[in-house]
Amino acid sequence: MKIELEYSFKSVTAADIEAFENKYNIFLPIDYKEFLIFHNGGKTGEKSMFKTNDPTKEGKITSYIMLFFPLSDESATNLEEKYQLYNKGNIIPKNFFPIGEDPCENLICMSIEGKDVGSIYHCEMDYFDYLKEKKELEQNHIRLVSKSFLEFIKSLT
């Protein structure tokens, strides 16, 4: 999987990923696990722009993946912290897993269960005040980007 990052985080192993999956009783798609082993998140380089691809929504959104969250505690913005905040806080759908964010702190999420496993979504968090409302992000602020993580990486321009 080829992606250029300005920087990435310390390496993780398949055992580190498996321990994380076991801790939260989740299963991550293989292409995403490979990305974590090779890069473990990081800040994107020149190719970071994507467009949503959801035929059920009016208008497509163009955005940028600014940061892929790492599976490590060397950054306060990491997979475990985001999973605790958004999934355990019931802010995003329970089958979503936050993998990154755009410059406006909107989430890039991956479906980790159901018929759309591996699909990547853009979640518009600027329309959601989770500190006050304490309810799940509304469906009209969630847009499909791609059917897999690998497809997502390949689509970045």
Amino acid occupying residue 20: F
- What values do phi and psi take at 156, rounded to 5? -65, 135
Residues 40, 10: Cα–Cα separation, whole Å:
7
Rg, the chain, Cα only: 15
**pLDDT tens-digit profile of 57-110?**
677 889 999 999 999 887 778 999 999 989 888 889 999 999 999 999 999 999
CATH number for 118 = 3.40.1580.10
pTM value surpassing 0.75: yes
Q: Domain range for residue 150?
A: 5-155
Q: How many CB atoms lie under 10 A from the CB of residue 69? A: 25
- Domains: count for the chain: 1
**pLDDT tens-digit profile of 29-64?**
999 999 999 999 999 888 899 999 766 667 788 999
